[in-house]
Amino acid sequence: MGFVANTLRLNAEAQTAPLLSVDDLTVSFPTKGGGHNAVVTGLSYQIAQSETLGVVGESGCGKTMTSLSLMGLVPGRGRVTGRIGFEGRDLLQQSEKQWRDLRGREVAMIFQEPMTAMNPVMSVGQQIAEVLKVHEGLGQRDSLDRAIDLLKAVGIPSPAQRARDFPHQLSGGMRQRAMIAMALACRPKLLVADEPTTALDVTIQAQILDLIIELQEETGMAVQFITHNLAVVSELAHKILVMYAGRGVEYATSEQLFDQPLHPYTQGLIQTLPDPDRKVDRLHVIHGSLRVQPAQGCRFASRCPLASDECRAAEPILREVAPGHFVACVKVN
């Protein structure tokens, strides 16, 4: 477990224990044949207070399951193993009651589409107030006053009137702000944001990113920001974890990752993005598709321009190739 040892050493150097420390997280679902199919395999990462981790990957890479396991919300018969250390305790050992206390109070989540994440028949103000009633025992009037303050804090104009509105009466950007207000009602230590700006226009996306940064500076919360958009995380994240087919393939600071991407998948993702500032004749492509995965060895091997027999022999794990820069590829020295 060189990776764990190395990260422990790094953390010791930083003199602060990370707020969140995920170790060897695996999420699997039972298959028809009686076996288990892992959608997240052996994932390890940390997030410190006031830090933003960007989790990047395409559909089906396991990024959403990773965040749901932080909330104890992996659906149905999903099995979660490993360790999720949060302020020194292991969340995976908690009872359902302890989960309920934690959710919304210490760890909160915002989703891509607030329309489906909010209750359509409850006013926005009441929904936010509910969080405060449950977790802080506030009464109806106090909780509603606080809800209006929160709506104001996330930049919603005329918050007292908007609090009486129902979700469908707000625009997409305003709904996302309202959901952020709800998530932040109890000042959580960790905010898990799952593609919160994907459904928004670029101008509104910029406003929401500014808001998240501003609130983070104010409250010191840690943020796990999940997205498929590398450009978005490059403007927001301190550290980045790139996922492919349920595995972490590269883990580094934002500067390291964009100055010197090491994994061929990361390189491909960056090159494949059409650049608004530069026109090229032909766009770079990553061949093949995520659906075709080799039975053993590196999961990216069938699409990788560098793949050789060595890659197909054993699955590479994340190893530290420069201080703080981890990559799961045998071709990287």
Using CB under 8 A, list all residues that contact another protein: 58-59, 171-174, 201-207, 209-210, 213-214, 228-232, 234-236, 238, 254-255, 258, 268-270, 272-280, 282-286, 289-291
Q: Of the candidates 251, 152, 168, which has an alpha carbon nearest to the alpha carbon of residue 211?
A: 152
Cα four-point dihedral sign 112, 117, 123, 128? negative
Strand, coil or helix: 60: coil
Kindly tell me which of 65 and 71 has the beta carbon lying closer to another protein.
Answer: 65
| Minimum gap (Å) between residue 237 Cβ and another protein | 8
Q: Is 238 exposed, middle or buried (0-12, 13-18, 19+ CB in 10 A)?
A: middle
- Give me the sign of the Cα torsion angle 67, 295, 315, 240: negative
Answer whether 181's CB lies under 8 Å from 108's CB: no
How far is the C-alpha of 330 from the C-alpha of 107, rounded, in Å? 36
Output the smallest distance, CB 85 to another protein, in A: 27
Residue 122 Cβ vs another protein, minimum distance, rounded to whole Å: 23
Q: With respect to another protein, which residue has the nearer C-beta, 26 or 216?
A: 216
If the CB atoms of residues 58 and 142 are measured against another protein, the closer one turns out to be: 58
Least spacing, CB of residue 196 vs another protein, in Å: 13
Q: What would the DSSP string read from start to end of 78-141?
A: -EEEEEEEETTEEGGG--HHHHHHHBTTTEEEE-S-HHHHS-TTS-HHHHHHHHHHHHH---HH
**Minimum CB distance to another protein smaller for 139 or for 220:** 220
Taking the least distance from each CB to another protein, the nearer of 21 and 52 is 52
Strand partners, 193: 110, 225
Q: Which is nearer to another protein, 42 or 57 (CB)?
A: 57
- Cβ count near 229 (within 10 Å): 15
Nearest distance from C-beta of residue 245 to another protein, angstroms: 12
Min dist. Cβ of residue 282 to another protein (A):
6
